Structure formats: C-alpha cells, structure tokens
Amino acid sequence: MGFGKYVGARVLWAVVVSLIITTITFLLLAAAPNPAIREAATQAALQGGDPSAAVERERELRGLNQPLYVRYMDFIKSVYTLDWGWSESRSQPVTEAMLQALYYTAQYSIPWTVLTITLGPLVGVYSAANMYSWRDHVATGFAFFGYAIPNFFFGIILLLIFGVWFEVVPISYDTSAPVFSLQNVRQLILPVFVLVTGSIGATMRVSRNESAEFQNSEFMKTAKAKGVSPLRAYAYHVMRPTMVPLSTTLVGQLLALFIGSSLLVEVVFGIPGLGRLTFNALISQDTNLILGSTLVFTFIAVVGNLLEDLVFTVLDPRINYDDR
Amino acid sequence: MATEKPEQFDRVDWSELSQSGRFDLSINSIGMLVATLPLALLWLYDSQFVGEREATFQAIGLSRNLDPLDYFFIFTLFLFFFYLILPLYQNPRMTRYYWKEFRRNRPAVVSLGWLGIVFVGGLLGPLVVSAPEQSILTGHQPPVFLSIDEANVATCVGDVVNGRCQGTWQHPLGTTRGGKDVFAGIVYGMTISMQIAFITTTIVAAIGITFGTVSAYAGGWIDEVMMRFVDIILSFPTFLMFLLILYIYGAGLGMFILVFSAFAWGGTARYVRSKALSVSEEEFIKATRISGASTYRVVRKHVVPNVASSIITQLTLLIPGFLLAEAQLAFLGIGDSAVPSWGQLISAGRSDLAFAPWIVLAPGIVLFLTILAFNFIGDALLDALNPEAEAENA
Amino acid sequence: MSTPLLEVEGLRTTFSTDNGELTAVDGIDFSVNEGETVCIVGESGSGKTVATESVTRIIKEPPGRVEGSVRFKGRDLLAMSEPELRTIRGYEIAHIFQNPQEAMNHCYTVGWQIVEAIQIHRDISDEEARAKAIDLMDKVGIANASSRFDDYPHEFSGGQKQRVMIAMALVGDPDLLIADEPTTALDVTVQAQILRLLEELQEEFDMGILFVTHDLGVVAEIADRIVVMYAGKVMERGDVLDIFERPAHPYTQRLLNCLPEIGARKGGIPGTLPDPIDPPDGCRFAPRCEHAVDACVTGDQPEEIEVNPGQRASCVHYRPGRDDSVVRDGIPNASADEEGVSSADD
C-alpha cells in the first residue's frame, strides 16, 4: 500500500489503541472504591447520619450513579471534543492543568532529550573506534553506571551533596524563576544531569555495538582506499548507517524512560511537571485528570512506536516501507 | 503435565542425550514432578489444615511461615534448577563452551559472583539472620566505623565519644529510624528481590512463549488478532499502570508481581512468534509429512531450544527493570511497608538523609549493584549465547 | 629500463593475534611497470590480498604491521605519513575489491560516493564534480549515467556495481590500479565484460594494473607477468606465456593441472596450508609437494633461481648441480586460452 495510506492506517491504529487503553483505565477507575465517597460515608457515620444515604448523595453529585455505559459515552464524547472535563483536585479544566504542567516538564525534558540524542551516539562511536582499549572500558563503565543507578537514588544523593552540603544548587524548585535565567539553570542542572546519565548509557551502548559492525565493513575499506580521512570516514560512513538501527532504539528508549524517570525526578526535585500532576491525580482519584494523562501518554507512546518504524524505512534507502 | 503416551519417546530421547544444545526434558520433567509433589502436598496441608495465624511449620516447632508467594517461589526455583541448571550438567561440552565465552567478560563474572551472594543471601539469609525488629530507642544507630551526633539518637548501642554515638558490630550497617537493623533489612530484601526476579520471569516466560507459539502456529486471522493484542499490551504506559493499579487495588508483593508480569510478556511473545515462524517454515512441514509427530513435539524439540538462549538473555535484562520499578514505587509511597524490600528501606530513610545517610545509601548501593550485575550478565550472555547478534565480527 | 612504477622489496606483513604473531606476507618482492598487468596468483590464504593492501597500507595498523620497502614512482610509501598517503590513495593508486555488493555505503547514492572520491582530492565545485562523475560512469558502461547518478547501490546489479567501483577508482587518472579479485563474485559473462573494460581503460588511462586472483583463466586473459604466491611467499614469477607453457615450480604445475581439460583426468592438491603463526622450515610447499626431498625442509624458503630468462622459481631442484628433470618436465600444462576454473575455494 502507498506510503500515505500506510501512515494513515498506523495513525488510525494509534488512536484506536489509545482509546482502548484509556477505556481500560476508565474501567479500572470505575471499579475502584472512591476515597471521597468513603470519606463522605465515614463523616456521615461519625456525625450520626446515615452512611448509605451520604454515599448516594455523593455519587449523585459526581455523576457516578449513572449507568456505566452512559458515563462511558460521555467520556468518549469529551475526548473527541477535547473537553476533557474538570479536574476535581486542581479546580481547573483538565487541559489547562496539563498544559501548565507540560510547561515545567518541557524545561528539563527538552535539554535532556537533546543531550541524549547528540552525546549518546557520539560517545558510542568513539568507544567503538577504540574498542577494548581503556577508553572504551571507561566509557562503557560510565554507561553501565548511569544506566544501572536508580534515578531517584542518584537524585537524592546528588541533592544531598550539592544542595545540602555544598549548597551550590537549591534544594527545592522555585517556579517563579524565569525560564531562561541562570537561577533556572542552577535548579535544573541536577535533574537534567541525573536523567542524561541514565539514558545516555543505553544509547551509547547501542550505538557502540551497531557502529562496531560498520567500522569493520567493506565500504569502510573502500573509503580508506579512496583516501578518506578517518574523521570523515567516521562521520559519514559510520554514523550515518548507525543511525538506522539506532533510531529504533532511541525512540523506544526515550519514551520508555520518559514516564518513569520524569515522575521520580519531579518528585525528588519538586518540579510540578506532568509526572507529578498524574501522580497527584491518582492519589486523589481525580478521574478526569487521570484519564486525560493516560490518553496523552499512551498516544505519545504509540505514535512514538510509529515514528520508530517509519524513521527506520526513511533512513535506510534499501528498505521499502512495503517490507515492514 | 505428566506425559503418559510417550513412554517409548522418553526412551528414544534418552539415547540422544549426547546431543548438545537440546533440552532433554524427560529426566528433568521427572525430577520436576518428584520435587513438586511434596511441595504441593505441603501447600495443601498449609492451606487446609494450618490456621490463618499459625506458622506453617508450627507443628514441628518452627515459627517459619510460608505464604502462597513463598510456595510459588520455591516452585520457580525447582523449575530453574531442573530446566536450566540440570541441563548444563547434562551437556558438559555445551556448558564448557558457553562458560568459556562468558568468562571472557570479567565484569560479568564478578556480577555472577555478586548475584550468587544475593541468591544465597536471599534463600538462606532469613534462616540465619533474624528479621529486622522495631526498636525505637535504638533508632538511627550508625554503621560500624561511623558515628552520628548524639542528639539524634535516643540511646546509643555503642560508646559515645565526643558527643558522637559510635557504631557497633551489632548493627554493622546501622539502624533505621524505627530501630530496625539495616543489614538484616538488606538480607531480607534479597529474598524479596529474588522472589520478584524468579516469579515474574517465570510468568513472563510462560505467557510469552505460549502466546508466541500459539500465535505462530494458529496463523491467519487468529495470529493477526493475537499480535494486535500484543501491540496493545506493549503500548500501555506501564509505569502509569503500575501506579494506578497498585494504588487503587492494594500493593502487596503478590500484586506487584502480578502487575509486572501482566505487562512484560509482550516482547517475549513477539520474539518467540517470529522465531517459531522461521522454524516452522521448514521443520513443521517436514515433521508433519514424514514422521507424523505432533506440532507440540516439534515446538518443544525445535522451537524452544533455538529460542531458549535468546529468551534467557532477554529475561535476564528484564529483571533489573522489575527491581527498579518496585523500588521506584516504594519510594513514591506505593507498596506495602511491611514488605522488607530495598525500595522500602530507601523510602523509609529518605527523610533522615541529611544526618543518617546510611539508611538510604546501604540499600541503594545494594540495589544499584544488583541492577548493574544483571545488566553485565545479560550483556555477556548476549555475546556468549548469540554469536550472530554480536557486533564485533572477525 | 626505466624505473618500475611500483617496486616492492622484502614486504613483510604481520598481525598480532591472541594466539601469537601471524605472518601473512613473509618477505616478498614484486614490481609493476607502467602500462603492464601483473597478476598475483594463489589460493585463499596465500597472502595475496594482504600483500596488495600493504602497498597502500590500508591494513589496520595495529594489529597489523608492514615492513620492507614499497617504492611507488620512486617514493617509499612505507616511510610516508598517513596524510601524505591519503593524497595518493584513491588518486594515483586506486583499489577495486572483490565484493561490489558490500563495497559501497548503502546509505548514500552512487553519485554521492563518486563525487566524494573526487572532492577529497580536488577542490572543484559540486557541478563540476557531478559532471565528471557522470562522465566516468558513462565511460565504464553505465547506461543513462546522468539519471543513475542519483540511484542507490542496491538499485544496481552486481556487474554494474563493480563498474561504479571502477569509475570511483578512476577519478584521479591513477597510474596504478590494484584490483583484488574484482570478477570473482560475478557471473562468467559479466566477468568477461569487466575484464574487457579494464583492458580498454588500461589503454586509455595508461595504467599499470596489479591484479590479484586465484582464477588462472582470468590470468591467461589479461596478465603480462605473473607472480605465484603460496603461504606468504613467492613460489615462481615470470612472463605469462612462459609460465603457462613451462611452469617450473611444482606448485605452479599443480595449479595449472587443476584446470579442466577435455580427455584428461585432473586432480586437486592434497593437503592444507601451513600454520601462518608457526610455519615450518624450508619451502612452504614442501609438505604437499610430491618432489620434496630433505633439502626442501631445512633452512628458509629456497632462494629464487632463474629457470628461463625472466622466469624464476623458488625450488631446490633448480639449484646448480642438481638434476632438475624431476620437476622441469613435470605434469603437462594447459594451453593459455582455456577457460579456467579456480583451483581452490574460499
């Protein structure tokens, strides 16, 4: 099928999957006991009132006494109209809450992504060029270290050392700092550092292994016989082919890390980003917000997978998207 | 699972014992059954005849209790032994080759040693080391060779020198705020980690392999549907799901394991399916035409051994993810504080980090080392078991 | 006689491996004059490829190490620095290799890769380089060169890919072309075309060609002179006609014997190559030679002795004072026009 049709079909599938997953989330939430309601029941009991009546009242207030499918239809409709409802816990529309949180998340996730994408492959190729030498071992050592150390653990240790003992970075995040100020840089440097050390390890290893294969390839010999300098050979003849298998891993890695790492980093450093938002929503069982977040995260993940596949076919001229 | 019909098959297999690379399932299965039977009986006894609050071994005077998770854990240990360790003995040539390749990777060998310690510590530790007990008075004790400001402790187990409470060998890694011994906590944490590792991996392998092979052999629209299903599983924002489910539905260790396994088998299923497809292209057709052997037989004899080494590598690399996830969730406050996992220890010690860093550092470093170890080993396995996947070719 | 284009003396190339030091090329000499084609012949493992790669030092050093003297147009290539060598590689001395499938980078168009070869050595504009590249592609026989310029390697057939490689090699009007089994991976008919092409280009560009092969049929077609290598040493050298008509060294004789001929029974050569890390004393071929005597297994490889004018063999039987009839009139040889089948596989 044509490229356009293929992309169209995959995007459609992405939407379908996101909906399915969000539906499952919806069902999970619906089946769960709602603490606010239990709270109301307890209150009523303590005050000598009738708990079950209180429960009924609360449910009615929240629209929870309607049959499931009605609620579900409402939900689907709201997704389409991008009216994702009202966030109970934040007292603002869900979309507004998420955009606000995104603003803070972007401030650390953009530098994080840029650094990983540029440094990772470079260090990997460098390591492959000096394979098995001490340089390689040091680089690989760092990679393994960064990859293995739990981000939250690393974060709190660094915060202890640099925030409490040396006092070079603030220990809590100040949202009033302007985005492009030195103050903002100081408070973001540790979270970005922790995140980068975590993700660079994986990308570096992959690019090391993939580029090693290309370094010993026939066309590298041809390049050398043509008189190509080693630097140019690495830049053009190793990096470029390496990007093909690397791209698939890169996208996958970054996405996978995004949700887990960012939440924990936000908690440790006190950044009010998307991760924290979702977590707090969970704690207070703010259904609309949870569903909104789930939808967004899932859609990003699925689209990310799609991008991964497509990028692969674009980067390798030998592959026809038909072969996928 | 007892196979009655292939009595003769078993005998035929026996003579093929010398072939390397094949899992000789006959004697292993027998051993597995022999070991599982008493375990099953014990479990039956425990669930039916021993009271809820009584310990399993109360009858013989031990206060050791086994919960369902422990039973399953022991079952997975048997599986591990009979289907992974024993075949290594049965195929010495293959084992020697793999070991030689593996040994080249020194960090991996060290990691194997470390994991061995964790494994033994997790299995036998609780028998030797007593469970960490609450003891508020002796909270915040420093590890041996370190000291803490006297003001931070209620009583000091060691001597007080210059206003600082000294550590003792009684609590070699110090105590938590609640006075629980950190060293004991780490040992008991080893058990938890081992349980997570073994049980989750077994479930993931079981579901993944079954799903993958069934999908491959069913073919057609069943295959399509199944693979779309796998797509969905793989698209779940897993950590989010963990948070959601565990927060709302309770977070005991069993739930953790259940939830982890539910979302982790997708990759394995996909891989097994593609391998099964490529094998079935040749073997299946030949087998059905010539010997009339059942598909099941073909799968077991051909697909599984080929796939086994890659899956082992893949699974080894999954385990650190589970351990990390458990720790992360514990840190966030989701999880059972009664479960003495490393994550719980770190979480408990966070607030006292400034003056009693060992509470966080000790389990944190142990967790880090274990994750590192699994990664090294997985990497080395990749080189040793899958030379095709190796990047550095001669 | 003017100085040879390429003069190699005492070339020795070793590699350090886990099992010891491997000597791939153990002190050989050869030369190539302007406009002539010299074929290095031998089975796999004879060291012929390593020898040619040592000339321009495209061997990975370390673990490799090249010693000896390699004089190209009077200059010693082994004494040059890497940057100097890079000006010569791909320009004055060009290589083409055996495997056209793998020899090009699959991520770039064919045109891009030829232009790269041009622009490394000459500071000319993209348009000029493109024009030159298309011109070369045309010369090597690629139809519709200007539109094929933007195609990727995988869109070409094996033979066409090899033509592109040749075009890439010609960007600098090279004086020496080193061709390492360029036709081995191709169909027989395509093989003939490529050989024809090389001969034409040799005339047009006035190149010397150092051609490596194990296929005696190819040798018969294009060689002026032959150097026969075995296990890192030279066994025999000489004019192509001389060697084909009267091969002097037992190894050459057996090689020629492997060529199929109607009505005659042919055989392979029993035995295997010696260990390159710890080779035996004496003549390298002795363990497989039916004429081996005690003198063959002592000391070093026998010195080369002139058997005919211009033809030399490294064999003890040709030493003065010995009876060489044992080997001189050895196995009957094949005629030079016959199509060859290689004597040994990879």
Nearest CA in chain B to A141: B107
- Does one domain contain both A17 and A109? no
A218 and A260 assigned to the same domain: yes
Give the Cα separation of A243 and A253 in Å (integer): 14
Q: Which residues contact A320 (CB under 8 A, 6 or more apart)?
A: A313
Using CA coordinates, name the residue in chain A closest to C169: A226
**CB distance B240–A293 less than 8 Å?**
yes
Give the DSSP per-residue string, C226-288: EEEEETTEEEEEEEHHHHHHS--SHHHHHHHHTS--TT-------S-PPPSSSPPSS-TTGGG
Pick the residue with more confidence: B393 or A279? A279
Task: Output the domain CATH number for residue A224.
Answer: 1.10.3720.10
Gap from C325 CA to chain A (nearest CA, Å): 45
3-state helix/strand/coil string of B192-259: HHHHHHHHHHHHHHHHHHHHHHHHHHHCHHHHHHHHHHHHHHHHCCHHHHHHHHHHHHCCCHHHHHHH
Residues A249 and A287 in one domain: yes
**Statement to judge: residues C53 and C90 lie in one domain:** yes
From residue B256, alpha-carbon distances to A212, B229, B308, B363, C247 in Å are 39, 22, 26, 19, 80
pLDDT average, residue stretch B126-131: 80
* H or E element at residue B106: helix B106-128
For the cut 70, the answer to whether the pLDDT of residue B297 exceeds it is no
**Residue B215: its pLDDT value, please?**
86
Closest-CA distance of chain A to residue C27, Å: 23
Give the count of Cβ contacts less than 8 A between chain A and C. 74
- Greater confidence (A83 vs C210) lies with C210
Nearest to C106 among A227, A232, A317 (CB): A317
CA separation, residue B24 to residues B1, B261, C136 (Å): 16, 27, 62
Question: Residue B393 has what pLDDT?
Answer: 28
Give me chain B's average pLDDT, please.
79
Q: What pLDDT digit, counting tens, does each position of B305-349 carry? A: 667 777 888 888 889 989 998 999 888 888 777 788 898 889 888
Per-window interface: B 103-162 vs A, CB < 8 A: 107
pLDDT per residue over B30-70, tens digit each? 888 888 888 888 888 887 777 767 777 767 766 667 788 88
Confidence bin at A74 (pLDDT 50/70/90): confident
Higher-pLDDT residue of C203 and C293 is: C203
Report pLDDT for C338: 39
Q: Which H or E run includes C306?
A: strand C305-308
Comparing C102 with C343, the larger pLDDT belongs to C102
Q: Does one domain contain both C115 and C18?
A: yes
Q: Both C171 and C47 in a single domain?
A: yes
Q: Report whether C56 contacts C93 (CB < 8 A).
A: yes
Structure token digits, residue C314? 């490294």
Query: Does B172 sit behind a cis peptide bond, omega within 30 degrees of 0 on the bond before it?
Result: no
Domain boundary among C223, C239, C272: C223
A261 touches chain B (CB under 8 A): no
Dist. CA A205–CA A222, nearest whole Å: 26
**In this model, does residue B98 exceed pLDDT 60?**
yes
| Mean of pLDDT over chain C | 86
Question: In terms of domains, do A185 and A272 share one?
Answer: yes
Strand order in the sheet with C176-180: C93-96, C176-180, C208-213, C37-41, C225-230, C233-239, C311-313, C305-308
Does C344 fall in a domain? no
Q: Does C136 touch chain A (CB under 8 A)?
A: no
Q: In the prediction, which pLDDT does B22 show?
A: 43
The strand ranges marked E within chain B are: 147-149, 160-161, 164-166
- Bridge partner list, C89: C93
Identify the domain boundary among A87, A115, A137: A87
Residue C243 lies in a domain: yes
Number of domains into which chain A is organized: 2
| Confidence band, pLDDT 50/70/90 cuts, at residue B298 | low
Contact B328 A160 (CB under 8 A): no
Closest CA–CA distance from residue C328 to any residue of chain A (Å): 41
**Which has more pLDDT, B114 or A314?**
B114
- What one-character DSSP code corresponds to residue B181? B
Instruction: Grade residue C12 by pLDDT with cuts at 50, 70 and 90.
Output: very high
State which of C223, C239, C262 marks the end of a domain.
Answer: C223
Distances (CA, A) of B90 to B9, B16, B24, B78, B308: 18, 11, 8, 17, 16
Mean pLDDT (whole number) for A4-11: 81
Radius of gyration of chain C (CA): 21
d(CA A203, nearest CA chain C) in Å: 21
pLDDT band at B23 (very low <50, low <70, confident <90, very high): very low
Q: With 90 as the cut, is the pLDDT of residue C166 above it?
A: yes
Asked if residues C39 and C211 have their Cβ atoms less than 8 Å apart, the reply is yes
Q: Domain boundary at C184, C207, C223, which? A: C223
Q: Which domain holds residue A232?
A: 94-323
* pLDDT for C327: 72
Query: Which of A221, A227, A240 is nearest residue C97 as measured by Cβ atoms?
Result: A221
Percent of chain B with pLDDT over 90: 12
From A38, A64, A87, give the residue that closes a domain. A87
**What percentage of chain C has pLDDT greater than the value 70?**
91
Say if residue C163 is in the same domain as residue C21: yes
Structural tokens at position A155: 């974060």
Residue C340 domain-assigned (yes or no): no
- To the nearest whole Å, the CA of A180 is away from the closest chain B CA by 30
**Do C109 and C183 fall within a single domain?**
yes
| Residue B350 reports pLDDT greater than 90 | no
C82 within a domain of the structure (yes/no): yes
More reliable by pLDDT, C156 or B236: C156
pLDDT digits 0-9 by tens, B167-203: 788 888 888 888 888 888 899 899 889 999 999 999 9
C343 within some domain: no
Same domain, A221 and A286: yes
| Residue B154 DSSP label | S
The closest alpha carbon to C130, from C94, C171, C80, belongs to: C171
In this structure, are C260 and C137 located in the same domain? no
- The answer to whether residues C255 and C188 belong to one domain is no
What values do phi and psi take at C342, rounded to 5?
A: -65, 150
- Cβ–Cβ contacts within 10 Å for residue A85, how many? 18
Question: What's the pLDDT at C336?
Answer: 37
Q: Residue B294: which pLDDT band, with cuts at 50, 70 and 90? A: low
Q: Please choose, from the candidates C230, C233, C252, C231, the residue with its C-alpha nearest in 3D space to the C-alpha of residue C307.
A: C252
B237, B243, B327 ranked by CB distance to A282: nearest: B243
Residues C106, A241: C-beta atoms closer than 8 Å: yes
Region A20-41: mean pLDDT is: 74
* Residue of B198, B69, B64, B190 whose CA lies nearest to B120: B190
What span, in angstroms and rounded, lies between the C-alpha atoms of C147 and C111? 10
The reply to whether A79 and A103 lie within a common domain is: no
- In terms of domains, do A82 and A106 share one? no
Is C341 a member of any domain? no
* CATH number of the domain encompassing residue C140: 3.40.50.300
Adjacent-strand bridge partners of B137: none
Contact assignment for A20 to B331 by CB distance below 8 Å:
no
Domain C-terminal end among A26, A61, A87: A87
Six-digit token string for A158: 């660094």
Same domain, A65 and A32: yes
For residue A105, the cross-strand partners are: none
- pLDDT digits over B198-236, tens only? 999 999 999 998 898 888 878 788 888 898 898 888 888
- Residue B236 near chain A (CB below 8 Å): yes
Same domain, A293 and A154: yes
Query: Is residue C115 domain-shared with residue C160, that is, in the same domain?
Result: yes
Q: Do A227 and C105 touch (CB under 8 A)?
A: no
Per residue in A100-121, pLDDT (tens digit) is: 888 888 888 888 888 888 888 8
Query: Which of the listed ranges C199-213, C244-258, C273-287 does the model predict with the highest average pLDDT?
Result: C199-213
Same domain (yes/no): A105, A82? no
Question: Tell me, what DSSP letter sits at residue C89?
Answer: B
For chain C, the chains sharing at least 3 beta-carbon pairs closer than 8 angstroms are: A
Q: Which of A182, A184, A170 is nearest to A103 (CA)?
A: A184
Q: Which of C323-332 are b and which e, b meaning 16 or more Cβ less than 10 Å from the residue's Cβ?
A: ebeebbebbe
pLDDT category of residue C118 using cuts at 50, 70 and 90: very high
Query: C242 and C213, same structural domain?
Result: no
Q: Say yes or no for a CB contact (<8 Å) between C107 and A244.
A: yes
- Answer for the pair A65, A56: CB distance below 8 angstroms, yes or no: yes
Q: How many domains does chain C have?
A: 2
Does residue A98 share a domain with residue A79? no
Residue with tokens 């030379």: B387
Spatial distance between the Cα atoms of C194 and C204, rounded to a whole number of angstroms: 15
Q: What is the pLDDT of residues C315-340, one digit of tens each?
A: 888 888 877 777 776 554 443 333 34
Residue B41's H or E segment, with its range, is helix B25-49
- Both C245 and C208 in a single domain? no
Read off the tokens for B102. Answer: 């593996």
Per-residue pLDDT tens over the stretch C60-101: 887 889 999 999 998 999 999 999 999 999 999 999 999 888
Q: Distances from the Cα of C169 to the Cαs of A227, C90, C162, C174, in angstroms?
A: 11, 6, 10, 8
Same domain, C80 and C92: yes
Residues in chain C: 346
Domain ranges, residue C309: 226-335
pLDDT at B301: 64
Q: Are residues C269 and C212 in the same domain?
A: no
Q: Hey, are the CB atoms on A263 and B393 less than 8 Å from each other?
A: no
- Interaxial angle between packed helices B106-128 and B92-103, expressed in degrees from 0 to 180 and rounded to the nearest 10: 110
| Main-chain phi, psi angles of C304, to 5 degrees | -80, 135
Under an 8 A CB cutoff, do A240 and C107 touch? yes
In this prediction, residues B235-249 reach a mean pLDDT of: 80
CA dist A153 to B240, B317, B346, B348, B366, Å?
Answer: 20, 20, 8, 13, 11
What share of chain A has pLDDT > 70, as a percent? 85
Q: In whole angstroms, what is the distance from residue A209 CA to residue A140 CA?
A: 11
Which residues on chain A are in Cβ contact (under 8 Å) with B245?
Answer: 28
Residues A176 and A60 grouped into a single domain: no
How far apart are the C-alpha atoms of C152 and A49, rounded to whole Å? 80
